[in-house]
Amino acid sequence: MAIVIFIVAVQSKHWLGGLEWYTNFLSELPDWARLAEQPLRWLVLCVVGLLIVQRKKPRRIFGELGMTKALHTGIGFGFAATIPMLIVSLVFCSVRSEISIVGLIGSAVTYVFAEELLFRGYLFRQLHRKAGWNLWLAAISVGVLFGALHLLNRSLQDMSVSDQFGTVAIISAGGVLFAWVFTMWDDNLWVAFSLHGFMNLWFSIFQMGENPLGGWILNGSRVLSGVLAVLITLYFLRKRKANQSARPDN
């Protein structure tokens, strides 16, 4: 069911795009409302998929997606982990000459939320937690799928084959990292969302490259932020284990 809902979600844009009344409806909406269309569409489909299989109450359904976990924890983690990317950008890069608030919201918030919801909160979690897939099997499978589907973006289609391969590899690695931190932080969707979102935000604000492949500045800062995200997560796990060991037995 998770795979079926995932396919429907990915294809729904193309199906709805063939409906004249729907495209006319979207064209009349303000920019911010159009940005919300994809995450809302995918959220509805994920909720429907979970209701069909698990038939839980609505709040429990949102808990299944990791949306009821602490938002402030996720935002704090995402910002702290991407400080290296911010510092590298401030030192080596200039601010983009044209920055759109709507564009920033789209690249760092709405589209990121939609992707983390569908790929990590829904598909990865259902394969790992419910279908019993090994953590790394589920994370790598969904991560590669996450990267490969970016080939549908027009910006990647204009690249050479080697650049396309490199971009897919980088995005896939990011998808595996997002799945890992999502799991280690007790399936907190906001942790993966914030890490992904802040990475996109710094890329959108600073001139770090014209496409996701980038150069040594972009990819070096990504590696530093990824390493810091892992170190922070390992510290969190160690601290939690120490706290649990210190608790007296009931």
Residue 74 within any structural domain of the chain: yes
DSSP 47-61: HHHHHHHH---HHHH
Q: Say if 159 falls within a structural domain.
A: yes
pLDDT of residue 250: 52
Is 62 among the domain residues? no
Q: What integer is the mean pLDDT of 2-24?
A: 93
- Is residue 137 assigned to a domain? yes
Residue 3 lies in a domain: no
What's the sign of the alpha-carbon dihedral 222, 162, 160, 142? negative
Q: Is residue 226 part of a domain?
A: yes
- For 46-65, the pLDDT digits (tens) are 999 999 988 777 778 999 99
pLDDT > 80? residue 108 = yes
Domains in the chain, number? 1
Range of the domain at 233: 70-246
Q: What pLDDT score does 209 carry? A: 77
Say how far apart CA 168 and CA 150 lie, in whole Å: 7
**What is the predicted pLDDT for the residue at 67?**
96
Averaged pLDDT of the chain: 92
More confident residue, 40 or 247: 40
Mean pLDDT of 198-207: 94
The pLDDT, as a whole number, for residue 249 is 61
pLDDT at 97: 87
Residue 38 lies in a domain: no
Residue 122 DSSP class: I
The answer to whether residue 104 is domain-embedded is: yes
140-182 pLDDT, tens per residue? 999 999 999 988 887 787 888 888 999 999 999 999 999 999 9
State pLDDT tens for residues 205-229.
999 877 777 788 888 999 999 999 9
What are 112-147's pLDDT values in tens digits? 999 999 999 999 999 999 999 999 999 999 999 999
Burial of 250 from C-beta contacts in 10 A (0-12 / 13-18 / 19+) = exposed
**Structure confidence at residue 232 (pLDDT):** 98
The conformation of residue 114, written as its DSSP 8-state character, comes to H
